[in-house]
Amino acid sequence: MTQLSSTASTCAAQWKMWLVKVFSVIYFPAVCAAQGPQNVPPTPTLKLLSPWLDVFENETVMFRCELENNEWMFTWYRDNNRVTYTKDPNLEDVQSYLNITSVTRSHQGGYACKAISEENSENSTGFSNTVNVTVYEKTPQPRVSKVPDFNPMYVGETVNFTCKVHVSSGWEYQWYKDGQKLSDTSETISLHLGLAHQGEYWCKATRGEKTSTDISAKIQLNILEIPSLKPVTPWLDVFPTESVKLSCGMVI
């Protein structure tokens, strides 16, 4: 009888332990699934709205910190340091936007943002992704090249001039000949040569409304006519004692 009672007690204890395990497997994951995501704040996304990451002084840079809803206030960081607007007149913080209206070298760095709940200031997100901005102190000088690199060249030949800025992107080009603007503003201009094309060529580059480079080096293009030999006497087939007269001229 004592043995049966002991066996029953053991079975009851094992049964309770099994129920506790089942309850733990079912209940606690369900509670975590229901409550966990509500306690995890979303992560904002930082986007660069201006065209370039490589910028020059006086250009404009604009960021936006994005979340799924608008019930957040935003704070901004550069190289993990809080951005202070009152000490920098070039910074504008408008809701989820950060504008740098006139970039200087001091604005270079990695930018990120955080969001704070408007209802509970203790509820804040982690850092967004980082966007790195490089600021150049001086605009570059464009390089000008000529293909083929012969000088002088002759009437009827073709020459290609290329103007190129090798820093950043988004450049538009302006060409000059003897100090006068040319109508073609592409990176490469092609000329089918006549005598009127002789002169000194150079270029400069611009982008946006604020950035303009110095002029490039100047390239002198000299053009010659092609000599042409013509008979003056009426016949090319002549006999001994006859005279022959030739002329040498230039064809444009």
Q: Identify whether residues 46 and 81 lie together within a single domain.
A: yes
H/E stretch holding 177 reads strand 172-177
Say which range, 13-22, 23-32, 112-121, has the weakest mean pLDDT: 23-32
Give the pLDDT confidence score for residue 227 in this predicted structure. Answer: 75
191 class by beta-carbon count within 10 Å (0-12 exposed, 13-18 middle, 19+ buried)? buried
pLDDT band at residue 183 under the 50/70/90 scheme: very high
Claim to verify: residue 127 and residue 161 sit in the same structural domain = no
pLDDT for 15 equals: 45
144, part of any domain:
no
- Examine the domain organization and report whether 122 and 163 are in the same domain: no
Q: Which helix (H) or strand (E) holds 25?
A: helix 2-35
Instruction: Please indicate, yes or no, whether residues 127 and 155 belong to a single structural domain of this protein.
Output: no
The pTM (predicted TM-score) of the whole model is 0.67
Which pLDDT score, from 0 to 100, does residue 16 have? 59
Which CATH number goes with the domain that contains 45?
2.60.40.10
Q: Is the pLDDT of residue 206 over 80?
A: yes
Do 130 and 164 have their domain in common? no
Domain boundary pick from 87, 111, 136: 136
Residue 170 within any structural domain of the chain: yes
242 pLDDT exceeds 90?
A: no
Task: Tell me what pLDDT residue 22 has.
Answer: 46
**If you search the block for the tokens 């129920």, which residue do you land on?**
19
In a domain, 179, yes or no: yes
Residue 24 domain-assigned? Answer: no
Please check whether residues 51 and 125 belong to one and the same domain: yes
Say if 249 falls within a structural domain: no
Note if the bond before 148 is cis, omega within 30 degrees: yes
Q: Which has the minimum average pLDDT: 14-18, 69-73, 192-196, 240-244?
A: 14-18
Tens-place pLDDT, residues 26-83: 444 444 444 444 556 788 999 999 999 899 999 999 999 998 776 788 999 999 999 9
Residues 48 and 71 in one domain: yes
pLDDT at 252 over 60: no
CB 56 within 8 A of CB 136: yes
When divided into structural domains, the chain yields a total of: 2
Q: Please give the pLDDT value at position 243.
A: 80
- Same domain for 188 and 221, yes or no, is yes
Contacts of 66 (CB under 8 A, 6+ apart): 44, 45, 46, 47, 96
Final residue in a domain of this structure, among 93, 108, 136 = 136
| 234 domain-assigned | no
pLDDT, residue 11, reads 54
Which residues, at least 6 apart from 231, have a Cβ–Cβ distance to it below 8 Å? Answer: 244, 245, 246, 247
Provide the 8-state DSSP code for 124: B
Any domain includes 248: no
Split at pLDDT 50, 70, 90, the class of 250 is low
Q: Which residues contact 116 (CB under 8 A, 6 or more apart)?
A: 72, 73, 74, 75, 123, 124, 125
Q: Is the pLDDT reported for residue 6 higher than 70?
A: no
Q: Is 92:76 a contact under the CB 8 Å cutoff?
A: no
Residue 171 confidence (pLDDT) above 60? yes
Residues 113 and 182 grouped into a single domain: no
> Above 50 in pLDDT, residue 108?
yes
Using the 3D structure, point to which of 136, 165, 196 is the last residue of a domain: 136
Domain extent, residue 64, equals 40-136
What is the pLDDT of the chain when averaged over all its residues? 83
